[in-house]
Amino acid sequence: MADNESMKVVNLEGSLGIDKAHSIKDEITAAVDKNKKVMINLSHVEYIDLSIIQLLYAARSYAEKEKKELHLTGNLQDEVRDSFLIGGFCRQATNDASKLEKELIDFLQQD
C-alpha cells in the first residue's frame, strides 16, 4: 500500500535505450504508486534515447493524474542534455535537471 508521506528517488544509470524501457517503466510506475513524491535522478545517465524521454513524459502525466509529485533531479551529463535539446524537447540547454523540467515543453501541466 502506498505510503502517502514517503518520497522515493529513482536513480537511473548508464546507457538508457529501448532495451531498458520496460524495466524503467515498471520501476517508475511502482515508485509513483507507492510514494507521494518521486524524484528521478538523471545524474548517472550516460545516454538517453527517445523511448526513455517519452517514459519521463508519461510518468509525469501519470503522476499528475494520480495526484502525486514527480520531478527530475540531478546534474545532467552533456550528452544527455543535448539529447533533450536536439530532440526538440526544450529550448534552453541546462545541465540542472530540476531546471530542465521547467524548460521541457508540455512536461509540466500544473505546478
Partner 1 sequence: MIDKFKDTFKEEAFELLNNLENSLLELEDNPENKEEVSAVFRTMHTIKGSAAMFGFQHISEFTHDIENILDLVREGKVAASQELIDLTLAARDHIRLLLNEPEPPADELVKKSEALLKDFKDYISSVSGEGPKQSITLPEGKSIEDVRVISDDEAPADSYVEKKDVHHDHTVIYRIRIKLEEDIFQNGTKPLMLLRELEEFGDFTCVAYTHLIPELDSIDPEKNYTFWDVILTTKKKENDIRDVFIFVEDSCELDIKVIDDLDTIDEGKYKRLGEILSERGVVDELRTEQAANAQKKIGQILEEEGVPKSDVFGALEEQAHVERSRQRVQSEMSSSSIRVSSEKLDNLVDLVGEVVTLQARLAQTANTIQHGELSAISENFERLTAELRDETMSVRMLPIGTTFSKFKRLVRDLSRDLGKEVEMLTEGGETELDKTVIERLNDPLVHIIRNSIDHGVEMPDERTAAGKKPAGWVKLSALHSGANVLIRIEDDGAGLNKEKIRQKAINKEIISEKQELSDKEVYRLIFAPGFSTAQNVTSVSGRGVGMDVVKKEIDNLSGTVDVESRDGSGTVITLKIPLTLAIIEGLLVSIKDSKFVFPLGAVEECIELKKEQKESEKERKILNNRGELLPFLRLREVFHTEGSPPDIEQIVVVNAAGEKVGFVVDNVIGDHQTVIKNLGKMYRDLEGISGATILGDGSVALILDVQKLAAKVAAEEKEKVGT
| List of residues contacting partner 1 (CB under 8 A) | 17-18, 21-22, 24-25, 28-29, 32, 49-51, 53-55, 57-59, 61-63, 65, 83, 86-89, 91, 105-107
Smallest distance, partner 1 to C-beta of residue 4, A: 19
Q: Cα(43)–Cα(76) distance, rounded to whole angstroms?
A: 5
Closest CA to 43 of 76, 8, 10: 76
Least distance (Å) between residue 22 CB and partner 1:
6
Unique residue bearing C-alpha cell 546507457: 15
Q: How far is the CB of 58 from partner 1 (least distance, A)?
A: 4
User: Residue holding cell 507507492?
Assistant: 34
Grid cell digits, residue 2: 502506498
CB nearer to partner 1: pick between 63 and 72: 63
Q: Closest separation between CB of residue 42 and partner 1, Å?
A: 16
Residue ranges of E strands in 51-95? 69-73
What is the DSSP-derived secondary structure letter of residue 108? -
Which one, 41 or 57, has the nearer CB to partner 1? Answer: 57
